[in-house]
Structures are given as C-alpha cells and as structure tokens.
Amino acid sequence: MILALDLEGTLISNAMSQFPRHGLWHFLELCNTHLPRTVLYTTVREPLARSIAHTLVQEGSAPPWFSSIEYIEWSGAYKDLNFIKGYPEQRTLLVDDNRDYIDPEQLHDWLLIDEFAYPYAEDHELQRVWAEICQRFQIDAEW
C-alpha cells in the first residue's frame, strides 16, 4: 500500500500562503500509523516542499515525521504513478485536487479531494478522504 499526497490545494492552500488544511495533523498521523508508506507527489520542487513541510512541523500543523516524508521526483504532463518505486505491484492511491495532473490511464488510482481554496474555510475533506482511503485499502481505522 502506497499513499501519495499532493501538497497545494490538498494539504495546504498553496506554496505562497501555506495555510494548513483543517485536520492536517490528524490526517498525517493516521497515514503514518496505519499505512506502510506515504509519499509526497507535488508540482512544488523539493527544496521548497521540504521548507514548507519543516514550517508546518515547527508550527505544530504537521507531525514531525512529515518533514522527512519521501518526495517523488517526476517530470512530464501527468503525475505518472510509475515514478513511484513499487508501483504498480503495490496498491497505490494518489490524493489530488487537480484532475489535470492525473494520467487518464490511472484514474482508478486517484482520489479526488476538493481544492482547499480561498477563503480557506474549515472543511472536512481530509476526514472524508481518509474514510475513502480506508475503504480502498481495506483497513479499519477510524478518524
């Protein structure tokens, strides 16, 4: 089981404002506790993504492990899951708010999350998506 997480519009607002989404800490902690491997799959280049992750940890919006999360290097028009070592032998899901980055042939491995967008109101998307992750991976872990 591999869970790939988009960053902007999924976990945070964007790389500029970096507002954490409601429930972020808890969501990431559930991922770390119940899934063997969680990776970051984002258009944000690694140095900035790491800096954002570090800030989120420092301010208490993300658990400490998040600052050393595995980062997926990729190129091309789509977030091709083949850039993730272990795919497709291991079941993989990508949580992303933007369909434009999803390889049309990998739609079945994609979980759509509503974009976390202005005015960045509290929502329950991470909780909803967690329930979907549990269902798709057939694990039993309540929010």
Shortest distance, position 52 Cβ to Mg ion, whole Å = 13
The size of the interface with Mg ion (CB under 5 A), counted in residues, is 5
Shortest distance, position 10 Cβ to Mg ion, whole Å = 5
SS3 state at 78: coil
Position among 2, 4, 5, 9 found at the interface with Mg ion (CB under 5 A): 9
Position among 3, 5, 6, 79 found at the interface with Mg ion (CB under 5 A): 6
Is 97 a residue that touches Mg ion (CB under 5 A)? yes
Q: List, in order, residues 6 or more apart from 15 with CB less than 8 Å away.
A: 7, 8, 44, 48, 49, 52
Q: List, in order, residues 6 or more apart from 118 with CB less than 8 Å away.
A: 13
Is 80 a residue that touches Mg ion (CB under 5 A)? no
Is 8 a residue that touches Mg ion (CB under 5 A)? yes
SS3 state at 38: strand
- Could you tell me which stretch among 1-9, 68-76, 82-90, 120-128 binds Mg ion (CB under 5 A)? 1-9
Strand ranges in the chain using DSSP code E only, listed in sequence order: 2-5, 38-40, 70-71, 92-96, 110-112
Q: Footprint of Mg ion on this chain (CB under 5 A)?
A: 6, 8-9, 97-98
